[in-house]
Amino acid sequence: MLEFQNVTLKVQENTEEKVILSDINLELQSNKIYVITGPNGGGKTTLSKLLMGIRQPTSGKIVFDGQDITNLNITERAKLGIGYAFQQPPRFKGLKVRELLELAAKTDNNEVDLCKLLLDVGLCPQDYIDREINNSLSGGELKRIEIATILARKLKLALFDEPEAGIDLWSFQKLIETFKKLHEDQKVTLVIISHQERIIELADEVIVVGDGHIVKRTTKEDILTQVTSDSACGCNAVCDRRR
């Protein structure tokens, strides 16, 4: 469903040219869960930004369902069903949770559906549906609302960058259930950037990115059975698996 063909991203840093991603070739299939892991600074977030259309490659091609999307921007890709969970959901002055979810679902959803979305992410609809999206919401609450918008959007491909960051254990469990629901009920292809063992466990395939390259594509078992003194991704850096 998604292909990166010889994708390279270079930036100009002072007078030097710096290669962030080098000749990436990657093919992802429908209705699978992919977990991308690897060392800090390896290129994971940059890869996801290229996939979303937030950044454009210097060379190479990105193809989605047979269509060349290399030059499409984030909105155009969103229309094709590619969605991204931001670290923080966008905040527009005065926008309420109800309106954000309706925008995401692109319908005047009836209240029952919106409430169900909130319940799915562990928020009491009565308390939250008319809250404004502003600084009065905690980081974890914002994160849950963002995930509810992903559920509402009926995507073909959903991308999450370290979704576990900043949420409590209970919410983390909800997040895992949400991923399963997106995958099993909505048949969404998931691309999740994570170092978390319990997220890696969901993967049909693990993609290790390091030093601007695809280091390997492998099974979760391969990653999870690596010696515990080593990090999960073989990154030799700070990583949840090094315990």
Ligand X SMILES: Nc1ncnc2c1ncn2[C@@H]1O[C@H](COP(=O)(O)OP(=O)(O)OP(=O)(O)O)[C@@H](O)[C@H]1O
Contact of residue 166 among Mg ion, ligand X, none (CB under 5-8 Å per partner type): none
Closer CB to ligand X, 40 or 73, in the complex: 40
Residue owning tokens 């994708």: 7
CB of 210 to Mg ion, least distance (A): 12
Per DSSP, the three-state class of 30 is coil
Contact of residue 124 among Mg ion, ligand X, none (CB under 5-8 Å per partner type): none
Q: Residues in the site for Mg ion, rule: CB under 5 A?
A: 44-45
CB of 228 to ligand X, least distance (A): 20
Residues 35-94 that bind ligand X (CB under 6 A): 40-46
CB of 111 to ligand X, least distance (A): 38
**Residues 9/59, Cβ–Cβ less than 8 Å:** no
Residue 8, both tokens: 């390279």
- Does position 163 interact with ligand X (CB under 6 A)? The reply is no
Residue 179 to residue 170: CA distance in whole angstroms: 15
Contact of residue 11 among Mg ion, ligand X, none (CB under 5-8 Å per partner type): ligand X
- 172 backbone dihedrals φ, ψ, rounded to 5°: -65, -45
Residue 79 to residue 27: CA distance in whole angstroms: 21
The conformation of residue 228, written as its DSSP 8-state character, comes to T
Residue 104, both tokens: 């995401």
Among 2, 20, 118, 150, which residue sits at the site for ligand X (rule: CB under 6 A)?
A: 20
* Closest residue by Cα to residue 50 from 39, 40, 61, 35: 61
CB of 47 to ligand X, least distance (A): 7
Closer CB to ligand X, 20 or 33, in the complex: 20
Closer CB to ligand X, 44 or 98, in the complex: 44
Contact of residue 42 among ligand X, Mg ion, none (CB under 5-8 Å per partner type): ligand X
Closer CB to ligand X, 95 or 237, in the complex: 237
Closer CB to ligand X, 149 or 194, in the complex: 194
Contact of residue 20 among Mg ion, ligand X, none (CB under 5-8 Å per partner type): ligand X
**Residues 171/140, Cβ–Cβ less than 8 Å:** yes
Helical (H) or strand (E) element with 149? helix 139-152
CA pseudo-torsion sign 14, 8, 208, 196:
positive
Closer CB to Mg ion, 38 or 122, in the complex: 38
**Residues 168/11, Cβ–Cβ less than 8 Å:** no
Q: List contacts with ligand X (CB under 6 A).
A: 11, 13, 18, 20, 40-46
